Structure 1
Amino acid sequence: MKPFTRRVIHIIKQVPPGKVMSYGGVARAAGSPRAARQVVRILHSMSRKYNLPWHRIINAKGEIAIRRESGFEQQKFLLEEEGVDVSTGGRVDLGRYEHHMPPMLEEEEG
């Protein structure tokens, strides 16, 4: 597994219940600020295998990015279960719920 992928998985696991991070925020914390799309791919391919709290990762506008009805509703439900207020359209107040992490160094992975 590539170091960036390991860092992304570690960071996503650190997002506490009731908080969210953006794809770009995860990428920045993993040391590659322009890799938001790679974070999406990692979430898509590894969430189940690594038991990632995928529902806590949203887009930079504070919105649920999944537009398929069932996926959207599931993510909205899971966030609300953790106490996150989500608008009908799927928007989260990042000022209130965003989790911030400083960039990781490779030796911090373990």
Structure 2
Amino acid sequence: MQPFTEEVIKIIRRIPRGKVMTYGQIARLAGSPRGARQVVRILHTQSEKHQLPWQRVVNGKGEIGFKDEFSQNLQRELLENEGIHFNTNKKLDIQKYAFEPLP
């Protein structure tokens, strides 16, 4: 496994219930500031294997990144069950729910 992938997995595992991180934020912390798309790929391929809390990762606008309605609704439901609220534009308050891990 590549060091970047290992670091992304470690970071995602640390996101606590009721908090979120963005793809870009995770990429920066893992050492690749322009690696947000790689984070998406890692989530897609490694979430089940490593039991990652994939639902806690959103885009930089506070939106769910999935295009299909089923996945959007599932992620939203999981986040709402953790106490995260969405506004009428289907966005969450990224400032309010952001997780900033210590180095």
TM-score, scaled to structure 2: 0.95
Q: Name structure 2 gaps, 5 residues minimum.
A: none
Superimposed CA distance per residue, residues 38-88 of structure 1 (whole angstroms, 9 cap, x where no aligned partner): 000000000000000000000011111112010000000000000001234
**After TM superposition, where is structure 1 displaced by more than 6 Å over at least 4 residues in a row?**
none
CA contact (8 A) 1:11 1:26 kept: yes
Q: Residue type of the partner of 1:61?
A: K
Give the equivalent residue in structure 2 for 1:106. none
Give the equivalent residue in structure 2 for 1:107. none
TM-score, scaled to structure 1: 0.89
Spell out the pairing of 1:1-110 with structure 2 (5 A cutoff): 1-101=1-101
Q: Name structure 1 gaps, 5 residues minimum.
A: 104-110
Q: CA RMSD in A?
A: 1.1
Offset at 1:97? 0.2
Superimposed CA distance per residue, residues 13-42 of structure 1 (whole angstroms, 9 cap, x where no aligned partner): 000000000000000111111100000000
